[in-house]
Structure 1
Amino acid sequence: MAPHFASGFDFTDPELWERRSPVAEFAELRRTAPVWWNAQPDETSGGFRDGGYWVVSRHEDVKEISRNSERYSAQRKGAIIRLPNDTTPEQMELTGALLVNMDPPKHSTIRRIVSKGFTPRAVEGLRAALTERAARIVHEATRSGSGDFVQQVACELPLQAIAELLGVPEADRRKLFDWSNSTLNYDDPEYGDPTAAFAEIIGYAWNMAEQRRAHPVGDIVSTLVHAGLDGEALGSDEFGFFVVLLAIAGNETTRNAITHGMKAFVDHPEQWELFRAERPRTTADEVVRWATPVNAFQRTATEDLEIGGAHVRAGQRLGLFYSSANFDESAFTDPFAFDIRRDPNPHVGFGGTGAHYCVGANLARLEIDLMLNAIADAMPALTELAPPVRLRSGWINGIKSWQVRYG
């Protein structure tokens, strides 16, 4: 059997994701061709010009590829499955300094240092401040009566959590938000120049690292740029790339998870009543599964191999489509039911298993939990005024705006 798609169909087409998630097409792939070649002409290849990529749609295959860095490289062609079409080889090489685009052993070293900022103790240390801020965010939105949920509610706590973690002054926090938007959302004409925004974040973070290296103040930045007993520390350039990744992965993705999650609650009012009454600890993971803020990351085969019945050649790209794997009928009971009591919940919304599992997963869970609890306490009757406006992106499952009435 083979899937039947229109000529030129591309699972990373930004216009497709602006309209909808290709749920039916993913289901067809899981049934007929779980690892399927998606051809791409050079002009629509998202910067790669290599003929296309393999769509990996099943949960078990996504997990298998995620846990094997030797056979499936994040570094050779990067983890971002669709770049701007005018991306140069020099720009692609520059992004190799991002943790998400590294392979062991370099990845292991940088991740070990970065993880110091996301220990259970470090994350728990943010709880009191973020709880107060979540309540303040919701209170201020409620006073307006109605508005854009993304701008007024969802975007604020993830941004403040990152700023709090890094010690970014209040006056600079909006700049961090705007830079991350432009860096990530290059397929959407509403946003600015991604190259300039990328450089702005790098420059800002480099200066922060230099200041903390000269005058440590006992915060996480000081910890990351000063060698501890193990002798490991981030250079100022490495810290800059870490902040880029944090601003994108920690801000955009959690914001979209909160928005998708609240939209799911509006569409499934019985789940909202259950959450308000019981506040299950399993809620955040079901929200992440349902939202799947990152549609896909990619790996590149380092050797000829076979997976999911497909013969993959060395150098070919494989798209790990979390947005398909998280609704795989073979991995989840009734996957298209939004169920905040779902347990177990082996979702791959934090990047699957293996070396690239999201280092900030526990912080994201905390933010989602705090934000939903604050909404349940202060605006339990939130209703939709207009459908969400989806982001035009080939790999981010984003919502740009969502008009609601607070209650």
Structure 2
Amino acid sequence: MPAPAIPAGFDFTDPSLWETRNPTTEFAELRRTAPVWWNAQTDEQSGGFRDGGYWVVSRHEDIKEISRKPEIFSSQRKGSIIRLPGEITADQIELTSALLVNMDPPKHTKIRRIISKGFSPRAVEGLRAALADRAAAIVRGARESGGGDFVEQVACELPLQAIAELLGVPQEDRRKVFDWSNQMLNYDDPEYGDAVTTTSAANASMEILGYAWNLAEQRRADKLDDIVSQLVHADVDGESLASDEFGFFVILLAVAGNETTRNAITHGMKAFVDNPEQWELYKAERPRTAPDEIVRWATPVTAFQRTAVEDTVLGGQEIKAGQRVGLFYSSANFDEDAFEDPFRFDITRDPNPHLGFGGTGVHYCVGANLARLEIDLMFNAIADAMPDLTQVAEPERLRSGWINGIKHWRVRYA
């Protein structure tokens, strides 16, 4: 294969890059010439790792292979987040292993088995009626305002209310979760944090942990018919979450249940505005394939990482033990070998083997069905109540090295 035409010093996790655009041209170049490519980094560029760089894995097939082999590609060694605040230490990275996304089997298997109780098809379907009512109310409120910031008025609200509904958190506390998750994850954006220090992210994490700890202790003392009680009380197999484990589960929800779903909704609505024929089709037919195409198109998490625990070979490239590999879902979801006409937004796409829920394997998103439900309910509500939504200004993108986020988007609802 010819050498890729990637400029010297280019970094696929550079927050300033993602603040302006998706590097679709560069990803296509890698898929064609170097599907497993070493992205060298200075200590300053590496965002906390200071290990020389990482491998960019750009093809759908290779990312699926990595996802199926946790015994070779570890989530725990250096965590799953490919860019962290600049001053973070190795000991602080090690502490993040309490998060499910940063665990390896067998511990991951045990914790996931407990958490999955809250996301069974029956449990998710049990939320449908309440969330449908909330989606309709959110859209009615936005429509009455005439126009505004779609992210804050529409996209963020249902994921936040779903978390509150799932955990029995008072609805008035949902804004705390919104603010905490922004500070915890969006440290590269000066609107929310400081990429050089870990202070804002660490403080937000401690706030969520403390809040969740208290909630778990309340349910441990006074069991109710809700998911929190199920998770903190041992079942017939003797498995339950300790209060600190429950706290890290709530942090995971703040990430996977809030940030990612709200960004999928925003990117999805933007795609409909840019592809009005698809919006007309959606309003007429409401295809059940739409949520997965929205997630593929949005790819809210641009990349997670794994660390090789032994020397191995991937895509013909030798990878040394201890080296990081970046699973760039934002490239894989537009891989020409996996999707027909991948740059066409097609809400009837079927099959749709996207990796927007983290690929295959043990780390496939435990809340994928809840995310699909929220997206389906929200777009049905928008199509019913404000079908003529229009854009006032281009979206303001998040400055982040691993989240494909939109911070603000001015629209008119009627």
1:206 aligned residue (190, 194, 213): 213
Letter in 2 for 1:80: I
Letter in 1 for 2:270: K
Aligned counterparts of 1:94 and 1:305: Cα–Cα separation in 2: 27
Per-residue displacement from partner, 1:289-319 (whole Å, max 9, x unpaired)?
A: 0000000000011111111121100110000
CA-atom RMSD in angstroms: 0.6
Question: In the alignment, what sits opposite 1:291?
Answer: 298
Per-residue displacement from partner, 1:218-256 (whole Å, max 9, x unpaired)?
A: 210000000000100000000000000111111000000
Question: In the alignment, what sits opposite 2:252?
Answer: 245
1:343 aligned residue (334, 343, 350): 350
| 1:43, distance to aligned residue in structure 2 (A) | 1.2
Question: In the alignment, what sits opposite 2:383?
Answer: 376
Aligned counterparts of 2:236 and 2:355: Cα–Cα separation in 1: 34
Letter in 1 for 2:190: P
Structure 1 position 310 matched with structure 2 position 317: yes
| 1:40, distance to aligned residue in structure 2 (A) | 0.5
Q: Kindly report which structure 2 residues correspond to 1:62-141, keeping only aligned pairs within 5 A, or say none.
A: 62-141=63-142
Letter in 1 for 2:241: L
Question: In the alignment, what sits opposite 2:147?
Answer: 146
| 1:208, distance to aligned residue in structure 2 (A) | 0.6
- For structure 2, the 5+ residue unaligned runs are 194-199
Aligned counterparts of 2:171 and 2:345: Cα–Cα separation in 1: 37
Per-residue displacement from partner, 1:71-126 (whole Å, max 9, x unpaired)?
A: 11001110000000111222211111000000000000000000000011110011
Question: In the alignment, what sits opposite 2:161?
Answer: 160
SS in 2 for 1:44: coil
Q: Kindly report which structure 2 residues correspond to 1:190-229, keeping only aligned pairs within 5 A, or say none.
A: 190-192=191-193, 193-229=200-236
Aligned counterparts of 2:90 and 2:36: Cα–Cα separation in 1: 28
Question: In the alignment, what sits opposite 2:15?
Answer: 14
Letter in 2 for 1:8: G
SS in 1 for 2:304: strand
| 1:7, distance to aligned residue in structure 2 (A) | 1.6
| 1:5, distance to aligned residue in structure 2 (A) | 1.8
Aligned counterparts of 2:220 and 2:4: Cα–Cα separation in 1: 56
Q: How many residues align?
A: 407
Letter in 1 for 2:87: D
Structure 1 position 358 matched with structure 2 position 365: yes
Question: In the alignment, what sits opposite 1:263?
Answer: 270
Per-residue displacement from partner, 1:292-349 (whole Å, max 9, x unpaired)?
A: 0000000011111111121100110000000000000000000000000000000000
Per-residue displacement from partner, 1:187-230 (whole Å, max 9, x unpaired)?
A: 11111411100100001001111111111112100000000001
> Normalised by the size of structure 2, how large is the TM-score?
0.98
Letter in 1 for 2:404: N
| 1:46, distance to aligned residue in structure 2 (A) | 1.0
Percent of paired sites with the same residue: 77
Letter in 2 for 1:361: A
Letter in 2 for 1:339: D
Aligned counterparts of 1:99 and 1:137: Cα–Cα separation in 2: 31
Question: In the alignment, what sits opposite 2:197?
Answer: none
| 1:131, distance to aligned residue in structure 2 (A) | 0.3
Question: In the alignment, what sits opposite 1:38?
Answer: 39
SS in 1 for 2:44: helix
Letter in 1 for 2:235: G
Aligned counterparts of 2:256 and 2:51: Cα–Cα separation in 1: 27
Aligned counterparts of 2:175 and 2:387: Cα–Cα separation in 1: 28
Question: In the alignment, what sits opposite 1:281?
Answer: 288
| 1:171, distance to aligned residue in structure 2 (A) | 2.4
- For structure 1, the 5+ residue unaligned runs are none
Letter in 1 for 2:226: D
Letter in 1 for 2:211: Y
Aligned counterparts of 1:166 and 1:13: Cα–Cα separation in 2: 35
Aligned counterparts of 2:334 and 2:118: Cα–Cα separation in 1: 32
Question: In the alignment, what sits opposite 2:196?
Answer: none
SS in 2 for 1:163: helix
Aligned counterparts of 2:335 and 2:224: Cα–Cα separation in 1: 47
SS in 2 for 1:43: coil
Aligned counterparts of 1:128 and 1:218: Cα–Cα separation in 2: 17
Per-residue displacement from partner, 1:47-73 (whole Å, max 9, x unpaired)?
A: 000000000000000000011111110
SS in 2 for 1:36: strand
Aligned counterparts of 2:61 and 2:45: Cα–Cα separation in 1: 29
